[in-house]
Amino acid sequence: MSESRVPRSRRFLVCEPRHFAVQYAINPWMRPDTPVDVDLARDQWQALISAYRAHGHTVDSVDPVPGLPDMVFAANCALVLQGRVFGSSFHAPERRPESTAYETWFKTAGFDVYRPESVCEGEGDLVPTRRFVLAGTGFRTTPEAHREVQEFFGVPVIGLRLVDPHFYHLDTALFVLDDDNIAYYPEAFSPGSREVLGRLFPDAVLATREDALAFGLNSVSDGRHVFIAPRAEALADQLVTHGYVPVPVDLSELHKAGGGIKCCTQEIRS
């Protein structure tokens, strides 16, 4: 069945974890007293970049800025659709300077950038599908930002409430498999949001809590290949059953800050 799945070449924006550290705690994964191996983090990140390129994807890179240890999590910087950039406005003061660093890159690359008035953390909470944008709230991005996104892109926005602090961003609890389907962990969402997802995606791949806690849902799919945390074994087995090809990439050192594969990956959609 996997032969029927067709990959689509993507353009990704990333940032090397040269200054990666856990210096503060803004989610349950972060413990400032836990040592971080920066060399290991860079090696694991480089393995992700190599995997993307080996599967035909284009990768651009933003220069990391000293003093911004979470800048490696490029997904949080923006949502890019139809060549238009909806920037970020971070909830945590420690991360707010990242918005300017990424905005500078986008403008230098020829993009106009809209800076939201409301708290919004880019693709962390904004997950575009073929028909609409799924938008998370509850811990970071606000419902007001959802309305800004809809007005800016003219695309329907479906608000979803997150209820488990371990899944503080939508991209830790859900990812898009292809034009028509997603994978997600139901218990990360409020009852009403679970009902919405069930109606929109009746054939979705449902993950266990164990696989979600292993960052299995912080994955990137090109429509056929799914770049996924290796510890999410049950989810990977499900994906194979559904015709996808898992590509395990270990970012365990970056998990110490609450991020994984998707967190490190901003997609530039033209």
Question: pLDDT tens digits for 95-130?
Answer: 999 999 999 999 999 999 999 999 999 999 999 999
Specify if 70 maps to a domain. yes
Residue of 257, 226, 261, 262 whose CA lies nearest to 244: 226
Q: What proportion of the chain, given as a percentage, has pLDDT over 70?
A: 99
Would 4 be classed as within a structural domain?
no
Task: Return the closest-CA partner of residue 267 out of 157, 122, 152.
Answer: 122
Residues 25-49 have a mean pLDDT of 97
pTM equals 0.97
Q: What share of the chain is helix, strand, coil (3-state, %, to 5)?
A: 35, 20, 45
CATH number at residue 16: 3.75.10.10
pLDDT of residue 3: 62
Average pLDDT on 49-78 reads 98
pLDDT of residue 240: 98
Is 255 a known active-site residue?
A: no
Reply yes or no on whether the pLDDT at 162 is more than 90. yes
Indicate whether 2 pLDDT > 60. no
List, for residues 211-253, the tens digit of each pLDDT value.
999 999 999 999 999 999 999 999 999 999 999 999 999 999 9
1: pLDDT strictly greater than 80 = no
Q: Pick the catalytic residue: 57, 146, 169, 255?
A: 169
For the chain, the domain total comes to: 1
Mean pLDDT of all residues belonging to the chain: 97
181 near 201, Cβ under 8 Å? yes
Strand spans (E) along 170-233: 174-176, 182-184, 205-206, 220-221, 225-228
Active-site annotation holder among 15, 120, 263, 264: 263
Q: Is 15 a catalytic residue?
A: no
> Is there a domain that residue 89 lies in?
yes
In this structure, are residues 171 and 124 in contact, taking their beta carbons and an 8 Å threshold?
yes
Give residue 4's pLDDT band: very low, low, confident or very high (50, 70, 90).
Answer: confident
User: Which domain, by its residues, includes 40?
Assistant: 11-268
